[in-house]
Amino acid sequence: MILGAVSLIDSAIFCLFLAPQLIIQVGAFRTIYVALTCLPYLLVRLPLCLIRDHLLRPRSRRSPFVARATVFEDLVVRCVRYAFRNVPANIGRVFFHKAVTMPFLTWRMARHGYVRFPTRWAEYKEEGPDGFSGLWISADPSKPPDMVLYYVHGGGFAMGSVHFYLEILLAWHSLLAKSGYRNPCIFALEYSLVPEKTFPTQGRETMRGYRHVLSVAGDPQKVVVAGDSAGGTLVLSLLLDIRRLNDCAKAYRRKLEWAAKQANNNGVTDRELREHWLSLSETPPPALAILVSPWVTLVSSKHNNSTSDYLDCEQLHVYAMQYAGVDQLMSQAASPGLQTDHQVWAEASPSHGFFVTYGSEEVFAPDIRDFVALLGTAAEVDVFCDQGGVHAWPVASLFLSSTEKRLSGLETLTAAIRKRVH
């Protein structure tokens, strides 16, 4: 399902769905207070900046993103930049909440002539202390998939939801089907957010979701793991975790082989040995990893604010501290970019390597470039740097762009999958 571009009417309807949820989830007083503090920017500074940059300033003197963006794209990016720096995360989280995004998606479908979803999707949840949740998208759940995309969303570990990404994932599913897959499936993970849950909870949920995807796919060579921003962090942490756990399994099996030789003396039965052996089975890596503007290193001197991007280094580092805490902020498990051993990445890499895309103007760009260079010494890596692009533009452009280019990011990702996963 591929809907048209988001219009100003859509934006107004979104605000109608958003307002009551802000009052319900945040409180009327807090909502009104934050709204009033935003008015000087929205009513004065924002219009003046748009007039200056799009009417008075020549294109050659504009920032790289503004030089290529429409007024609507620039307006939304400026609003997101202001909100990222000035609006508390508990308020920003409401923008992505299911109670807001699902009515909005229903409205957009109705405006484009859809009375029901053309592609099946369903929420999935496993209860208990080792539980996790997400949603499945599949054209025909009764048939085995010929490829499965495992997606982990971004949002600074503090915001985002699978329901906010649903329109994006449905569009991506349509492109995968058009590219030649007979029954592509997507599983999007709904991981816990900070500050309610912190590291390593999100990593453990990512691993559980991955094992669930493997059980459905049946073959790891059908599985593609993907994530944007903080989701990219969790994907990289997942690959390192798979390598670490497999190394542990190999070490335990070597000990078990020795124990088997002593089984008669120790009273261990063949059945017990087999059960123990199965419990130490390795977790196979996926076929391919797709990284969209990955947050490679939680805190890095390479992160630089730009006049184009909507992210802010200081606020990002606040989110990083909430996620990992002081003790784990500089650990490789939480911040995979700190792992600089190319041999480790060679062992942790998917069987068909990586595809990495990012914007040249985003905060993470220098860190991503250096990380891609490191990966290139260890695995097969294709990279696309969007000149003038900002953070996670393949995701954002589906909502913001008003031209045929709104799908170009997802089309690039789909082509990367088709190239590697047959």
pLDDT by residue (tens digit) across 346-404? 999 999 999 999 999 999 999 999 999 999 999 999 999 999 999 999 998 888 887 66
Average pLDDT value for residue range 304-329: 94
Q: Specify the pLDDT at position 282.
A: 77
Average pLDDT value for residue range 253-266: 61
Considering only CA atoms, which of 379, 421, 380 is closest in space to residue 287? 421
pLDDT at 133 over 70: yes
Q: Specify the pLDDT at position 6.
A: 86
**Cα angle value 110/116/122 (rounded, 5°):** 125
- The answer, yes or no, to whether the previous bond of 200 is cis (omega within 30 of 0) is yes
Domains of the chain (ranges plus CATH)? 8-99 (no CATH), 118-420 (3.40.50.1820)
Q: What is the mean pLDDT of the chain?
A: 91
pLDDT at 74 over 80: yes
The sheet with strand 132-138 has its strands ordered as 120-126, 132-138, 184-189, 147-152, 223-228, 288-292, 354-359, 381-386
Of 219 and 260, the one with more pLDDT: 219
Percent of the chain with pLDDT over 90: 78
Q: Specify the pLDDT at position 179.
A: 93
pLDDT at 292 over 70: yes
Average pLDDT value for residue range 14-33: 94
Tell me 280's DSSP state. T
Match 């307006």 to its residue by tokens.
75
Alpha-carbon distance 383 to 372, whole Å? 8
Average pLDDT value for residue range 177-185: 94
370: Cβ–Cβ under 8 A, 6 or more apart, which residues?
302
Of 260 and 78, the one with more pLDDT: 78
pLDDT band at 269 (very low <50, low <70, confident <90, very high): low
Specify the pTM.
0.92
Considering only CA atoms, which of 323, 343, 347, 322 is closest in space to residue 333? 323
pLDDT at 268 over 80: no
Tell me which long-range contacts 126-130 makes (C-beta under 8 A, separation of at least 24): 126/208, 126/212, 130/204, 130/208
CA distance readout (Å), 378 to 92, 196, 285, 345, 372: 38, 36, 15, 6, 10
Q: Specify the pLDDT at position 8.
A: 84
**Cα angle value 110/120/188 (rounded, 5°):** 105
